[in-house]
Chain A
Amino acid sequence: MKISREDVVRVAELAYLELSEAELETYRQQVDDILEYIGKLNELDTSNVEPMAQVLSDDQSADATLREDVVVLCDVAAEILQQAPDPEGIYFRVPKVIER
């Protein structure tokens, strides 16, 4: 077994993900199968291989030069607040964070 119930509980905490008891066990089993399969990568000796974070080489990637630092109009606050679940004025309201 690659991943325990406690591991899944810990990972769900890290990811801020509420999981039911049934979900915990289902995902534990399924993720365990997947990790078991992923274990086949250990057949490869990669001690001399550089990790690849992205595929673009320097001559393909976007101009290394930064864009000019100019002020551009970005008057979208009202539209963005329209999408907020609980806006108040120009703020996003959230449940109380600090206890008095």
Chain B
Amino acid sequence: MPCPYKNMTAHWTIDGVREALAARKISARELTREFFGRIAARNAELNAFLALSPERAYAKADEIDAAIADGELLPPLAGVPVAIKDVLSTRGTTTTCGSKILEHYVPPYDATAVERLEAAGAVILGKTNCDEFAMGSSNENSAYGAVRNPAAVERVPGGSSGGSAAAIAAGLAVVSLGTDTGGSIRQPGAFCGVPAMMGSYGRVSRYGLIAFASSLDRIGPFANNVKDVAAVLEVIAGRDANDSTSTTVPVPRYSEEIGKSVKGLRIGIPREYFGDGMDAGVRGKIEAGIEIFRKLGCELVDIRMPHTDYAIATYYIIATAEASSNLARYDGVRFGLRAKGDSLLAMYKNTRGQGFGAEVKRRIVLGTYVLSAGYYDAYYLKGQKVRALIAKDFLDAYLKVDAIVTPTSPVPAFKLGERTADPLQMYLADIYTVTGSLAGVPGISVPCGKIGGELPVGLQVFGPAFGEGRVLQLAHAFEAAGGATV
């Protein structure tokens, strides 16, 4: 059935949805149907969605339509179609984490972030593809096949939240949630050319997020513009009794902070993020992007962050150690896959051997090793100490500057299959994102032009802990000044 709303644009915004609903140009049900239609048309090619939840979506849409008919005040995300990364628990909808070990797992509860989105009126379309247990930088580690990048379909969308980024870039959802442990929101945002943000560690409750590395995991939004990123973060942030690491730091009205002038703000440009190994096309766009901040009246400050070069090594100790512990729960007893075995131990080993993919097994081996007797001090403890030095680099920088600007990734989206042979080389490309993950600070990636008019580049803005408002304010000013087309 053709959509009755004639001005159907490829990329809706939250404001656009609200206005169209209020003016009765379209109903929430019609809008939901439009998005399921788009997914049906594109998903065979892109593989961005792993599961859809039409019953849940239409029930919510009908609720919104009834509220409109009754003239009620609508919640902030009323009727907004959203997509959820498949590591976030959704009651009644399969949640696989991109893994065979959870192929048929249906959570009996919602993640807090999902619950808050829906309570704010959002329509949950379904679950997006990702690297298995969020371990990867290209989405090629999904047990359900790679996602294709809508900006260049022979290329990866980035990872691990590749499906959530691709869904926004292709117009298959208005906003989406991803998770970021070492760059898994920001890097796919950069590769697909959409704004993507992680708040400070503790800003968003992790309840219902299936754990990869608990001291690093964060949930955050992808959207078509920075204003929508701010609106979604505002909804999902805040203390949750079900996650003791979610903080009581008050949640500001981010959407009110973003319009403020950035004139006079000091932006740190860390020299260590502009060394060898950066693609020349990326460098050109980022330099042009930094020039925008100068024109906006920001003061650019040359800073040093001397431990940057140690961040990858530190990250892959800490993240894999925590993963090896978190993934111990997949034992074939209470949920998920169970393989045959003639003893309990054989059942455990076969279940895990058959259920996990190569990247997950590699990280369990590494993580178990760095925690094992005789190696704990040399690796895990050392990693925790260097993590403190990396966090101090950020604290020292924020004595001099209000925010830090860097590239999101040293390279643009690469071709499918191009980098799968050498895991270490894949890890090394996380260099600009893992630093902020280890330090716990908020970061956003915003579109910063396209190489050759085709391949998106992302510019990253880091703020101090709980300085999300400042990060969003700068990203919004950059976007408004034409950052996406430099």
Contact = CB atoms under 8 A, between A and B. Distances in A.
Interface of A: 3, 7-8, 10-12, 14-19, 23, 26-27, 30-31, 33-35, 37-38, 40-44, 46, 49-56, 60-63, 67, 76, 79-80, 82-86, 92, 94-97
Pick from B202, B247, B385 the residue with the most CB of A within 10 Å.
B385
Interface stretch (B50-58, B158-166, B376-384): B376-384
A16 B244 CA distance: 30
A95 B386 contact: no
Contacts of A37: 312-313, 424
Interface string B54-76: 00000000000000000000000
Name A's interface SS.
Answer: loop
B324 A95 contact: no
A8 B361 CA distance: 11
A10 B14 CA distance: 53
A20 B386 CA distance: 35
Pick the 4 closest A-B CB pairs, nearest first: A55-B440, A18-B353, A51-B384, A85-B338
B365 A31 contact: yes
B348 A16 contact: yes
A55 B310 CA distance: 18
Given A62-B244, A76-B108, A95-B343, 9 more contacts: A8-B365, A15-B368, A23-B358, A31-B365, A37-B312, A52-B385, A62-B247, A83-B105, A92-B333
A44 B389 contact: yes
A44 B310 contact: yes
B265 interface: no
At the interface, is chain B mostly helix, strand, loop or mixed? Answer: helix
A27 B423 CA distance: 10
Contact of B245 (A19, A38, A62, A94): A62
Contacts of B332: 85
A3 B362 contact: no
B423 A30 contact: yes
A17 B353 contact: yes
Interface in B102-157: 105-106, 108-109
Interface in B184-213: 201-202
Contacts of A67: 241
Contacts of B201: 54-56
Contacts of A86: 338
Given A60-B202, A85-B337, A12 B108 contact: no
Contacts, number: 177
B336 interface: yes
B347 interface: yes
B372 interface: yes
B454 interface: no
Interface in B325-372: 328, 331-338, 341-350, 352-354, 356, 358, 361-362, 364-366, 368-369, 372
B108 A41 contact: no
B239 interface: yes
Given A16-B331, A54-B215, A95-B341, A46 B386 contact: yes
Contact of B385 (A33, A46, A79, A85): A46
B337 A17 contact: no
Nearest to B309: A40
B372 A55 contact: no
B334 A27 contact: no
Given A14-B372, A83-B106, A96-B343, A49 B389 contact: yes
B427 interface: yes
A27 B424 contact: no
B325 to A, nearest CB: 10
B424 A33 contact: yes
A56 B388 contact: no
20 contacts: A14-B372, A15-B328, A31-B362, A35-B366, A40-B309, A46-B382, A46-B386, A49-B386, A52-B384, A55-B465, A60-B247, A60-B249, A61-B202, A62-B239, A62-B247, A62-B248, A76-B109, A85-B338, A86-B338, A95-B342
